[in-house]
Copies of this chain bind each other. A is one copy, B any other.
Amino acid sequence: MTYCVGMRLDRGLLFMSDTRTNAGLDNISTYRKMFSFETPGERAITLLTAGNLATTQSVISMLEERTKAPGDRAPSILESPSMFQVARLVGQTLRDVIADNAQSGARADSSFNASIILGGQIKGTPPRLFMIYPEGNFIEAGDATPYFQIGETKYGRPILVRAYEPSMSFEKAVKLLLVSFDSTIKANLSVGLPLDMQIYETDSYKLGLSRRIGAEDAYFQTISNGWGAALNMAFDSLPDVTL
C-alpha cells in the first residue's frame, strides 16, 4: 500500500508521501513516490504516486522523456501552457502505460492500476491541485475538498477532517500531516517511514522546502510520541457519560 496527501492552503501547496512498497508481506522496499519538475521563475510541479510500482515508475520515466537521449529531452510537462494541460498529459500517460501493461500481462488488469496526485503552479495562473485516476481522467481540489489522499486513506482521515484550515501556516500543516501519517503507519504495515515532504509557496514559481523525514527525525518523534498523550488529554477533557 501507500499513503500520499496533497493539500491546498492559502499559502500554497503541501505534499507528503511515504516510501514503502511491498509485494506481499515478505517483499518490502523503499522507493520514492514523490517527483518534482520545475523551471525556476516559471513553474513548479509535484506528483505523488500510488499503485503498481512498475506503472508509476514508467509514467515518471515517460514524463521525463527518458526514451530520448539526454540532450534531446524537453519534457512536455515543462512546456504545457497550463496545469489543466499538464493534468491531461499525466492522465493520458498513466492510461497508456496501464493499457500497455494490461495488453501484454498475464494477470488481471487491475493489478497494474495506479493513481496520481498532481499539484503546482505555472506563471499567470493560480496554484492547482488534481487527483488523476487510472482511466486518465481527473478531478480538481476546490474550497470544499481542499486536499486529496491516495493509498491507505482511512486511518489518517479523521484528523484531517477535524483540524484542517486553509489559513494554516506551513508549519502547522506539516504537523497535521505528520499526525495523519503517524496514525496510518501505526495501523498499516504497508505504509512506512521515511516520509518525503515538499512545500510549494504560491507565486514563488520554484520548488520550496523539501525534506526526507526518517524514524530518527527528532520532530517526528516528538509528534509520534506526543500525539498519544495529547489525544488522551483531549479525550479526558470530554465529560464521561452518566450511566
- A235 to B160, alpha carbons, bound, how many Å? 11
**A171 to chain B: which residues have CB within 8 Å?**
240-243
Main secondary structure of the interface of A (DSSP, over half): helix
| A232 within 8 Å of B (CB atoms) | yes
Which parts of A206-237 form the interface with B (CB within 8 Å)? Answer: 209, 219, 222-223, 226-228, 230-235, 237
Number of A residues near B (Cβ < 8 Å) is 41
A19 to chain B, nearest CB (A): 19
* A159 and B237 within 8 A (CB): no
Given the interface pairs A158-B187, A234-B233, the reply to whether A240 lies near B163 with Cβ below 8 Å is no
What are 17 A-B contacts defined by CB distance under 8 Å? A155-B155, A155-B157, A158-B159, A158-B186, A159-B235, A163-B235, A171-B242, A175-B238, A176-B235, A179-B235, A209-B243, A222-B238, A226-B237, A227-B238, A231-B231, A233-B234, A234-B234
Contacts A175-B239, A179-B238, A222-B238 supplied; 6 other A-B pairs, CB < 8 Å: A155-B158, A162-B227, A162-B228, A172-B240, A174-B240, A222-B239
